[in-house]
Structure 1
Amino acid sequence: MRMGVVTRAAKKRRLEEEDRLKDHISGLPDAVLSSRWRHIWRSAPLNVNLHGGCDPTGAVRRILSSHRVPGRRFSVVSMGHWWRREDAAATLEVWLRSPALNNLEELEFHFHLGFSYSKVPPPPLPASVHRFSSTLRAASFGGCSIAIADGDAAVPLLHLPLLKQLSLLNARISGSSLHALLAGCPVLESLLLLENHGCPRAQIVSPSLRSIGLCSGRQGLSRLQHLNIEDAPCLERLLFFTDVDMDISVISAPRLAILGKLSSKFPRLQFGTTAGFQKAMVSSVKVLAIPDGKLRLDAVINLMKCFPSLEKLYIKTGHVGKRNVWHLKHRNLIGTLDIRLKKIVFADYLGNKSHVSFAKFFVMNASMLESMTLQLKHRHIDNDVWIRSQHIYAAPD
């Protein structure tokens, strides 16, 4: 078994590698580049990425009017005060109807996030999105209202037969509209639902979804409170960002392999007909992430018992932890534990006695363990004195 500590040297090497892979040529001034090459970009697939606080109206109009080849990606996010303008939604609608964006494959826009929690209603999903129904493969809609035809709605059903990635951020959408939207995406593989409202209850039925990411958002009756994953035969990853304050029921997801992060603040996580993840037995899960603030070894062990096929454990704590004397109080139970972990990542490792005891338990009792990575919380403690303290704390009890 190998053990690793993420040091400053390793971080420096990673940053150097990232810098080496950067596109430095694009940052050169125009005068350095030959004028004979400047026409080439007009014949290449168009990728528009607008990130910043400036007013992009004139620049975007010039780009869309001069480009000869249909666009591939159009992204407008983090535009600050520009999104607060009354004509921002109308301007975006005009841009999306440009012939330069025919056959668009990736679309991303986030209206001013304040719309989500203010009395001002968010602008509707641009009607022009429908014209990309036969080409769109990735979409991220933020700060808008999405009403899909499911009876009384005036907007026609949005059918995106090629869409594989969908993100909804701070959007207003009802449960029935979300259900209709997913039904119109027959090959969707990735779904992110981040701080949306207007949908207290949602149901997931998808033959193709492989990954779902969730964040319930701020308090309020309109936020997502109950999620029912009724039928997701291909679902492999169920991910939670920050503390997810919602009830989740997983009725059918036979391939679910990656789960987390689970915290003690979870109201309820139900698998099949078994309520509470402490009582559930889910044999398909192989990767589990836990943000254990108090780092209680007994709580982690009890949680692991719910997932008998667990191979990888990611745990992060922001506190010094408990004394972790569980293995001393219950020595007679240790031999009965079947810990099949192969990989452990311990984030924000402090190296105090509590953290060392926690790591030591798995080193001594996980017979199949191949590696344990300790990611230091304080980089400056990488010295000889600190290393010697680890040996002292790890000494036999």
Structure 2
Amino acid sequence: MDQQFLMGMNMREMGDISNPQLQAIMEQLGVDCPQLVGLGVDMALQYLYDATPPPPVSRRAPLASAAVSAPTGDDIDCLSRLPDGILKNVVSRLPAKDAARTAALASRWRGIWRSAPLAVVDAHILPDGFAAVRMAPGGDDPSSMLVVAAASRVLAAHPGPFRCVQLTCTHMASHRDEAARWLKLLADKGVQELAFINRPWPLDLPLPTEFFGCAASLTRLHLGVWRFPSTAGLPRSARFPHLKELVLSLIIVGDRDLQFLVDRSPVLEILTIISSQIDVRLRLISRTLRCVQLGMSALADVNVVDAPRLERLLLWMTMNHDKGSRIKIGHAPNLRMLGHWQLADHELEIGNTVIKVGTKVSPSTIVPSVKILALEVQSEVRNDVKMVPCFLKCFPNVEILHVYSQNADHTTSKLNLKFWQEAGHIECVQSHVKKFVFEEFRGNRSELSLLKFIAEKAQILEKMVVMVVSECFSSVDDVNAKLKPLTSAKWASENCKLSVFMSPVSERGSPTWHFRIGSDFSWSDPFDLMAADAEHRGNAVLHYFSSTL
């Protein structure tokens, strides 16, 4: 819970040492405030870099290993006889340093690299023997200065366009003029995919306004560790006409400016916000958005007004410490995936109805399109658990249900099986759920009651997966003993397969998440990372079919 509390705070809140809960965590960890802020930034940076798409080129296969050389003697240079279009395609798939070296192969190649769309990754263009540093606080260390010099040479020498540019290893505060010059060059020469990340400290370094010159050509953008400039003075015609994916990490961006980015990106499909330095307020009106991810940030309000193509609304380690976050779902007829929903911190509004305990289900309070739902539940907190059946009734067609059992700081009265039996008809559980995944099982009565309820009510359930917190059990026999009431229950689905796994990692404060997978539409269920990993490893405790019980 400490980790979740820290990452749910923005960086300004982490600097408020008068916060009692923050003081308690500092005392528990034995660190002072600067150390704690550094800890939070380090965690955010790990996810920031992980969310950066892999570049389209790799220096693991340099030109030298390709056995391409200039012809000698009677050798016939067949490669150079290929049409210019094919040669440009070949060169554009090489790291920038190797692309430039092709000019030495033969006279036929000398102009090819300059006319090929180039991929520039600053970590690839350092001299041999130097390693690019990303997470160091910054300053004029040798690697940072070499990165600046190398990047400046390549960006100036090549006429463009640039298919991909990743500048992630420079302490921009020490090289502000160069950063502005790079953005001006990229704007003039055309850049399609750009990752522009400041090596941290300061966290509020202003992003050069030259950035807006790149808007016309960008298709994918990742900005990290900047203060986003004001958009108030931009002309009404300013827009990002080709931008399909936008990632903002450790950014300070005002509500109006964030709205500008969304509203002025007419083909935007993916929006990801990681560790926003201020609370996020987002109003979504988009004909093209398919995936919205909000992680490690404090949310104020998210209002899905009109998003007809939105398929995924993904939340991870988000909260609001003042009054809770309100997330309103309006017109989103294709929303298939929702979570991780934190019942203690997120308030759901559907249409114009705020969902509370006792809210009656009606056509105006349901989202029938959702097929995959992930909840975080404090199983020993009464108010949390009482919201679960109310929440589930709003999503009658859920087929895959994930529940992450959150370890609460305090417990209230525990709810037994009778509570679930009196909850009334829950359509998705009884008629639609085919797979149920329960993470962080600690063996308490409230957790077992929910598992037993699902087993006895889910008529078409095909698979139940239980992830066990190993620290809470002395042995496999102890796990079996705790689960005996579940295994002896009368299951509604005779062919349901039950799998019980030891969690492959120690007890966690939040579910496992991967931002790139979350926005990868080839992954049918990004909430299933931990269970899929455990099943792949084969660390099963129990493994049988309910029909044999």
- With structure 1 as the length reference, what TM-score do the two structures score? 0.74
**Who is 1:258 aligned against?**
337
Q: Give CA deviations for 1:305-363 in whole Å, capped at 9, x if unaligned.
A: 121122211111243998965323564666x4432211112222345665444323212
Q: Which runs of 5+ in 1 are unaligned?
A: 1-22, 219-223
Q: Which runs of 5+ in 2 are unaligned?
A: 1-55, 71-93, 101-112, 124-132, 137-142, 360-364, 490-549
Q: Which of these residues, 67, 89, 94, is aligned with residue 181 of structure 2?
A: 94
Q: Which amino acid aligns with 2:213?
A: H
**Who is 1:291 aligned against?**
376
Aligned equivalents of 2:169, 2:379: Cα separation in 1:
36
Offset, 1:379: 8.8
Secondary structure of 1:46 counterpart:
strand
Which structure's CA Rg is the greater one?
2
Aligned equivalents of 1:326, 1:387: Cα separation in 2:
19
Secondary structure of 2:177 counterpart:
helix
Query: Is 1:244 matched with 2:281?
Result: no
Q: Which amino acid aligns with 1:60?
A: A
Offset, 1:396: 4.0
Aligned equivalents of 1:330, 1:203: Cα separation in 2:
36
Q: Give CA deviations for 1:94-141 in whole Å, capped at 9, x if unaligned.
A: 22334798332211223355555xxxx6313441442451x3111122
**Who is 2:436 aligned against?**
344
Secondary structure of 1:289 counterpart:
strand
**1:1-397, aligned counterparts within 5 Å?**
26-27=59-60, 36=69, 41-42=99-100, 43=113, 45-48=118-121, 50=123, 52=134, 53=136, 54-55=143-144, 56-65=147-156, 70-77=161-168, 79=170, 82-85=171-174, 87=175, 89-98=176-185, 102-111=189-198, 114-116=201-203, 122-133=205-216, 135-142=217-224, 143-149=226-232, 153=233, 158-196=238-276, 201-215=281-295, 217=297, 225-245=300-320, 246-266=325-345, 268-276=347-355, 279=359, 280-294=365-379, 298-319=386-407, 326-328=416-418, 331=421, 336-338=425-427, 339=429, 340-350=432-442, 354-378=446-470, 384-386=476-478, 388-389=480-481, 392-394=484-486, 396=488
Q: Give CA deviations for 1:245-290 in whole Å, capped at 9, x if unaligned.
A: 2333333222222212222333532121112365342222222111
Secondary structure of 1:147 counterpart:
coil
Contact conserved, 2:249 with 2:275, CA < 8 A, in 1? yes
Q: What is the number of equivalent residue pairs in this alignment?
A: 357
Call closer, same or farther: CA 1:376–1:105 in 2, change over 3 Å. Answer: farther
Q: Which amino acid aligns with 1:144?
A: R
Offset, 1:64: 3.3
Aligned equivalents of 2:234, 2:446: Cα separation in 1:
60
**Who is 1:19 aligned against?**
none
Aligned equivalents of 2:260, 2:337: Cα separation in 1:
27
Contact conserved, 1:102 with 1:132, CA < 8 A, in 2? no
Contact conserved, 1:259 with 1:285, CA < 8 A, in 2? yes
Q: Give CA deviations for 1:173-226 in whole Å, capped at 9, x if unaligned.
A: 3333333332321111111234446777543221111122224836xxxxx623
Aligned equivalents of 2:220, 2:378: Cα separation in 1:
35
Call closer, same or farther: CA 1:256–1:286 in 2, change over 3 Å. Answer: same
Give % identity: 23
Q: Give CA deviations for 1:28-62 in whole Å, capped at 9, x if unaligned.
A: 89987757399853346314154624302123234
Secondary structure of 1:306 counterpart:
coil
Secondary structure of 2:331 counterpart:
coil
Contact conserved, 1:214 with 1:244, CA < 8 A, in 2? no
